[in-house]
Amino acid sequence: MEAEKKQKAPKKNRWKGLQAEFKKVIWPDKQTLVKQTVAVVSITAVVGVLIAVIDSGVLQLLNLLIK
């Protein structure tokens, strides 16, 4: 029981460690953030449309085979 208590780090050290890690983060500027957001949304939309087209094509093919 004593050994388990010694292994756990105090909450203060965890909080200080978290703060130290957040200080190391290099946050992007607004222009970079906007460009990356537009890229992610665009790629997501294109992939979504591609999946919908493939799904529709497979569905039509299966309907032809079943009938």
- pLDDT tens readout for residues 3-47: 555 666 556 688 888 888 889 999 899 999 999 999 999 999 999
H/E segment holding residue 31: helix 30-66
Whether the CB-CB separation of 51 and 58 falls below 8 Å is answered with no
Q: What is the pTM of this model?
A: 0.60
- Could you give the C-alpha distances from 63 to 11, 50, 54, in angstroms and in order? 60, 20, 14
Torsion angle of C-alpha atoms 6, 12, 23, 35, degrees rounded to 10: 90
Instruction: Tell me the Ramachandran region of residue 15: left when phi exceeds 0, alpha when psi lies from -120 to 50, beta otherwise.
Output: alpha
